[in-house]
Amino acid sequence: MNSAAPASPAASQPGWSRESGGQNRSGSGETGVSRRARIGDAVLGWACRLSAALIALMLVSLIVVLVHSAWPAIRQFGLGFLVSSDWRANEIERPLRDAAGKLVLRDGEPVMETLAPSFGALPVIWGTAVSSALALLIAVPISLSAAIFLVRVAPKLRIAGAASFLIEFLAAVPSLAFGIWALFVLAPFFQNHVGPVLQRVFEPIPGLRWMFYETVTVAGRTVERPIPLTGRDLFTGSLILAIMILPIVTSVSRDVLKAVPRTQIEGTLALGATWWQSCVAMLRYGRSGLLGAIMLGLARAAGETMAVTMVIGNNNQISPSPFAPAQTMASVLANEFGEATEGLHRASLLYVALILLTMSLVFNVVARRLVVGKVGGVSH
């Protein structure tokens, strides 16, 4: 993820760059260090270059392989793939009907039509976008508050180290662990306790009926049905995402806020700002860096797979309700890739993977520019 780590911190430290290494070399030659050491330097130098090239090569080959294997789907659906909401892997053979809905008959027998499998990514793009957005909505206020705490309150209490460690430790918990916790604790808790309360509060409010009812259209007949509150839905999926992106957003925000010059804060205080006002000023000063932190969180949320797959309900549909099951780009891959043997289905899944890769690449590049541009190098 951090393959494009900024070179600036390394370059800014004397003795690390190639030039200064060269100086050391000539210097050491004078003091009589053997030829072997110089060969060692050269070997190490080239090994480093090779490793760096390998990482770049991996990304390039990833894109090449994805484009190549997604090609049948790209050719068949083109960019329409992004806006089509059909996702059906099976062929359907059914009696042909005319525009009026009447069966088309030939020699008294109904004429059959075959619907080829059809794929479109809109439901999964929707699921990814909405779940990530909801996750940010929940996580960002908490993260920013925690970052302010870490920078301005914790040092006074002498717990900055411990608090930072705990937050960073959260980032090291495998996503499967979050998923299992969400499946066995969070989802049943929502089904039994939170869901019914929310329903009792919000359902009577006019205009919020869409939250608890869905319409199902089959064969032209539309049925409205109550959405069963299962705790496995877009909302729980977003909540678990929020928890998972908290550490990265918090720790990058902390670094951004730490880099705010002391004179800035002291200046605001000197002008008579309250503690709260000076915090706001701090946030404003670091806003582009903070935006970068949020973008990094967004990239992680969009790509997160296992935990989301376990609680989002895995239904390729677009429902306005947060309590309806949904599907994200990552979860559709986790669900379907293993058994997708049919060519176009597999290619379509790889097309989804390509979209996901492009998206996270864009998020990461933008985030890095924002963070690095402002703070001059972040250690994450």
C-alpha span between 101 and 294 (Å, rounded)? 51
* Closest separation in Å from C-beta 275 to other proteins: 46
Q: Which is nearer to other proteins, 253 or 316 (CB)?
A: 316
Q: Which is nearer to other proteins, 272 or 338 (CB)?
A: 338
Q: Which is nearer to other proteins, 28 or 191 (CB)?
A: 191
* CA-wise closest residue to 235 among 305, 143, 297, 326: 326
* CA-wise closest residue to 328 among 121, 21, 74: 121
Q: Which is nearer to other proteins, 133 or 340 (CB)?
A: 340
Sites of contact with other proteins (CB under 8 A) = 86-95, 115, 183-184, 187-188, 191, 214, 216-219, 223, 225-226, 228-232, 309, 313-317, 325, 327, 334-336, 338-341, 345
* Closest separation in Å from C-beta 160 to other proteins: 40
C-alpha span between 313 and 331 (Å, rounded)? 10
* Closest separation in Å from C-beta 62 to other proteins: 24
The H or E element that residue 157 is part of is: helix 154-157
* Closest separation in Å from C-beta 218 to other proteins: 5
Q: Which is nearer to other proteins, 1 or 111 (CB)?
A: 111
* Closest separation in Å from C-beta 105 to other proteins: 15
C-alpha span between 261 and 285 (Å, rounded)? 9
User: How distant, in Å, are the alpha carbons of 4, 97, 106, 107, 114 from that of 103?
Assistant: 60, 4, 10, 12, 15
| Amino acid making up residue 305 | T
* CA-wise closest residue to 49 among 39, 60, 57: 57
* CA-wise closest residue to 92 among 111, 113, 115, 112: 115
* Closest separation in Å from C-beta 115 to other proteins: 8
